[in-house]
């Protein structure tokens, strides 16, 4: 089977969706299938040249919208080469171009919204939402309306997507999502991480792993840590992730104001063994996000047996809470403080039990194999040769 992912970029700085495409593609290739990516990236960029999958990079492309006159002709020429085409994300030119070409060719495609229809964005950015409303009827509404399936990674994400725009029509489908199991040599990777960061050795470490973005609740985490740190002298906070929107300086100033700057460690973006080492060296993962459709980093933490302390805006929070794999609370200052306090109040036996529950939850729901099988099932259901397929 041959699959195509259409996405604006393969740069890992873009967040979890790019990592999901990468992990899913690698696994499908291991299973004997072909996976291509077509993007708006510059073909000379390191994210393209170092990517493990075949990338058709049509850039360079300017502007946030990502208009690129080469994309539609490429799709028109190659649409027939693939058994399934997956559009990843909304609000940029790649989704509109795919709709126009595939509608004209009467070929099916599916769309991963990747949380981009969450009503949080309407509340957080009302002016941007107004601009999206002007764009919506002529573009993304039609992209979703004519897709063979609109894909969500949880029931919560599917439910929330209906609340952003009253003009909404989609063939909704919840699919499995996940990532590869962590490396087996977790203890060695943890030691290597601590060798690289000797100031962290012998400390109790809480880990934030993700983009430093306002929606992630990093400010809430700094404030909560500042409230509780004086009661736990050995507790340190590790902040690992790229500064995508210029948040770092303000967050560092916040930590200084709360007298915990010396106990908050900023690692920047970590990948590969460095990422796994950080996960294995820390005792809990914290994400007080205001909006998170899934959270690949949450799944990675669970796979490492790391209990997750998350807000109820991370859309897999119900599964985490039901499995006893972490704690869940509101995405505000009090809720974030309660998350940390509940974790720090546990004894060693309860922390160990929660760690085992985290591994069990990952194995049962969030593996890359389950994700790969979901994509293959989609190709059978919605590909051009599906027996009951209804064309857009």
Q: Using one digit for the tens of pLDDT, what is the confidence trace for 2-17?
A: 999 999 999 987 777 8
CB 308 within 8 A of CB 316: no
- pLDDT single digits (tens) 42-70: 999 999 999 999 999 999 998 999 999 99
Alpha-carbon span 228 to 232, nearest angstrom:
7
Contact 84, 375 (CB under 8 A): yes
Q: Which residues contact 315 (CB under 8 A, 6 or more apart)?
A: 115, 153, 154, 156, 157, 160, 292, 293, 294, 295
pLDDT at 392: 43
Helix axes of 93-105 and 71-78: crossing angle, nearest 10 degrees: 40
What pLDDT sits at residue 245?
83
**Exposure class string for 113-132: b at 16+ Cβ within 10 A, else e:** bbbbbbebbbeeeeeebeeb
Question: How does residue 208 score in pLDDT terms, banded at 50, 70 and 90?
Answer: very high
Residue among 263, 271, 272, 364 at smallest CA distance from 320: 364
Residue 290 has pLDDT above 90, yes or no: yes
User: Is the pLDDT reported for residue 384 higher than 90?
Assistant: no
Indicate if the pLDDT at residue 146 is higher than 50.
yes
State what percent of residues in the chain have pLDDT above 70: 98
pLDDT more than 90, % of the chain: 86
152, pLDDT greater than 80: yes
Give the CATH superfamily of 186-365: Glycogen Phosphorylase B; (3.40.50.2000)
Q: Do domains 2-179+368-382 and 186-365 have the same CATH topology?
A: yes
Predicted confidence at residue 391, as pLDDT, reads 42
**Predicted model pTM:** 0.84
CA 87/CA 337 separation, integer angstroms: 38
* Residue 387 pLDDT > 60: no
Sign of CA dihedral 257, 262, 267, 273: negative
CATH code at 2-179+368-382: 3.40.50.2000
Q: Where are the domains of the chain?
A: 2-179+368-382, 186-365
């Amino acid at each position: 089977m041959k699959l195509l992912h259409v996405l604006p970029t393969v740069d890992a700085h873009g967040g979890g969706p790019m990592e999901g495409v990468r992990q899913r593609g690698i696994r499908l290739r291991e299973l004997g299938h072909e996976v291509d990516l077509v993007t708006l990236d510059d073909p000379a960029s390191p994210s393209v040249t170092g990517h493990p999958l075949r990338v058709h990079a049509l850039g360079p492309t300017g502007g946030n919208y990502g208009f690129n006159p080469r994309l539609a002709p490429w799709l028109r020429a190659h649409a027939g080469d693939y058994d399934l085409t997956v559009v990843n994300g909304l609000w940029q030119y790649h989704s509109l171009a795919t709709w126009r070409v595939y509608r004209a060719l009467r070929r099916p495609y599916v769309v991963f919204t990747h949380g981009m229809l969450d009503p949080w964005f309407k509340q957080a950015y009302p002016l941007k939402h107004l601009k999206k409303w002007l764009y919506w009827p002529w573009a993304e509404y039609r992209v979703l309306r004519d897709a063979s399936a609109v894909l969500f990674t949880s029931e919560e994400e599917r439910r929330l997507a209906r609340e952003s725009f009253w003009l909404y029509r989609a063939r909704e489908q919840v699919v499995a999502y996940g990532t590869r199991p962590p490396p087996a040599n977790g203890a060695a990777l943890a030691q290597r991480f601590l060798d690289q960061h000797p100031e962290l050795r012998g400390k109790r470490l809480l880990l934030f792993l993700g983009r430093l973005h306002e929606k992630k609740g990093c400010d809430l985490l700094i404030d909560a840590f500042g409230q509780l740190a004086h009661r736990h002298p050995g507790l340190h906070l590790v902040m690992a992730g790229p500064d995508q929107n210029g948040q770092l300086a303000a967050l560092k100033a916040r930590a200084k104001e709360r007298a915990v700057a010396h106990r908050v460690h900023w690692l920047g973006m970590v990948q590969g063994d460095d990422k796994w080492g950080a996960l294995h060296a820390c005792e809990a993962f914290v994400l007080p996000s205001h909006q998170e459709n899934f959270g690949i980093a949450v799944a990675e933490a669970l796979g490492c047996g790391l209990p997750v302390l998350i807000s109820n805006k991370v859309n897999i929070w119900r599964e985490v809470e039901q499995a006893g794999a972490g704690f869940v609370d509101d995405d505000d200052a009090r809720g974030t403080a309660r998350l940390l306090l509940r974790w720090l109040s546990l004894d060693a036996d309860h922390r160990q039990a929660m760690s085992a529950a985290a591994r069990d939850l990952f194995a049962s729901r969030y593996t890359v194999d389950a994700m790969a099988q979901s994509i293959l099932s989609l190709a059978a259901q919605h590909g051009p040769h599906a027996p009951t397929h209804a064309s857009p």
